[in-house]
Amino acid sequence: MGPPRHLALLPRLEAETLDWPVPFTAGLPVLKGLRGRRVVVLVSGDPFWFGAGTVIAREFAREDWDALPGPSTFALAAARLGWPLEHTLCLGLHAAPMTRLRPHLAPGVRAVLLLREGEAVQDLARYLSDAGFGDSRLTVMEALGGPRERITEAPAHRLPDTAFHHPVAVAVEIAGTGAVVPRASGIDDALFDSDGQITKRPVRALALSALAPRPGETLWDIGGGSGSIAIEWLLADPSTQAVSIEARSDRTARIGANAARLGVDRLIVVEGEAPAALEGLSPPQAVFIGGGLSEALLTDLKSRLAPGTRLVAHAVTLESEALLMTWSERAGGTLLRVELSEAGPLGPRRGWKAAYPVVQWRVVL
């Protein structure tokens, strides 16, 4: 059982052959219907590196199957190019948007990308060019390791208008003058679309430092605004998860668009007001309150969250500041008052323009 292109490579067999249907998941019920028989499933390369093996293994007990991996597409690409895989970004974009690349776009980065179909090669070239990285060198590799293997090299902005065929992988050497997403907390405000409701860069950096993202952890971002806190949490590590809770529908749409554009489309956006909107969400290891702070919300979180959860809340108004002072006395933690000023025009000269002070309460419940 396998895709027609794999079955076509086999010699004449007496065994029954079955085409694996499209979409891929449609083949799982067929495979399950063959229980009790000896079945061979043909897939490309290493089935457990962005491959079919992971999907199939989830459906069957471990004692029901064996895997015989071949060289992965990444290994074949490295062998053609002479690239060290330990220093090469390897991504499967056959079932993911091109924006997954966004956090990695920086001059000098090397990547090998698996694409869903031949047409996606032109999509990749356009995406890189639109992002300011049209000078990136592309090596398009079709049917690596097979009789149809073909390799084409060109800059992204001058990719030939030719048809490429599945299966296809593209090696990319990133080059250009596009904006790079920094790895440190507190990325440029201009990277986010906003209606003004955004935790500004210096304060955001302090918030992320207090939240202290760790691999595999989940954040609740209450009062998402533009989604900047949740998005930077997700940029910290590919295994992190986040939920952004926002009451306004226009802002929830903006949060989703910001997350997709910056390559973290795994962000879950919930429209509603906390605490009601928190029902049914997976428990977090950290919570940020950037809006909607109230006695009722803090009381609910104290009863809802597990011990050890990290909670960070920001206050700007006198009323919300007083609330945080009261809760810090009750539950402990630390208070930090942040006052920032930026230089701006003052007549013919310059002077300091102060922003509203921000009070941060940080506590481990």
Predicted pLDDT of residue 44 = 85
How far apart, in Å, do the first and last CA atoms of the chain sit? 53
Q: Per residue, what are the HEC states of 291-317?
A: CCCCHHHHHHHHHHCCCCCEEEEEECC
Total-model pTM? 0.90
| Ranges of the chain with pLDDT below 50 | none
Cis peptide before 167, with omega less than 30 degrees from 0? yes
CATH 3.40.50.150 in the chain, residue ranges: 189-364
**Structure tokens given for 164:** 């490429």
CATH 3.30.950.10 in the chain, residue ranges: 73-173
Mean confidence (pLDDT) of the chain: 95
pLDDT, tens digit (0-9, with 9 covering 90-100), for 169-219: 999 999 999 999 999 999 999 999 999 889 999 999 999 999 999 999 999
| Protein fold of 73-173 | 3.30.950
Report phi then psi at 245, rounded to 5. Answer: -105, 120
| Protein fold of 189-364 | Rossmann fold (3.40.50)
| Overall residue count recorded for the chain in this entry | 365
Q: Which long-range contacts (CB under 8 A, 24 or more apart) does 57-62 make?
A: 59/28, 59/31, 59/32
**Which helix (H) or strand (E) element contains residue 246?**
strand 241-246
| Residue 162 CB-half CA count within 13 A | 12
